[in-house]
Amino acid sequence: MPVVGPDPGTFDGFPGLVEELSERPNVFESPSTHSISIKVPSPTSSPNSSTPPHNETPNDTPARVVKRQLNTLAARRYRQRRLDQVKDLEAELRNVQRERDELRMRVSKLEGETEVLKSLLGDQKNKRIARAR
């Protein structure tokens, strides 16, 4: 979705911002949302006519508002990626713990079999010794 401001195609200090953003259609997508619109205040509205939102000051330029909103979106995407990464790591941890537990069970079984085989081998050895006498 292209960003539209007072003069399409340019913002103070950001020439070509609209074209750059419109060429990258997925720049505003996050894993949980598919479209986000950016609201730019109209140049005809007077800052003194109403109180600005809590995060804007009366002398914010449209370019500054867009930059702040883009930063907010980037921060949101970063936090979502971080949450996804934590979930992936937790799932991997559960898989590794399950595999570890299965291997511990296998080791216990094999140790038990080893003890049984050793005792059988010891019994046969004792029988040979008894026969030799």
pTM of this prediction? 0.47
Q: How confident is the model at residue 127 (pLDDT cuts 50, 70, 90)?
A: confident
Burial class (CB in 10 A: 0-12, 13-18, 19+), 11: buried
Residues 64, 72: Cα–Cα separation, whole Å: 12
Chain segment 2-49, per-residue pLDDT in tens: 544 555 454 555 555 555 555 554 544 444 544 555 565 555 545 555
Residues 16, 41: Cα–Cα separation, whole Å: 19
Residue located via tokens 């195609």? 9
Give the mean pLDDT of 82-109: 98
Residues 73, 98: Cα–Cα separation, whole Å: 38
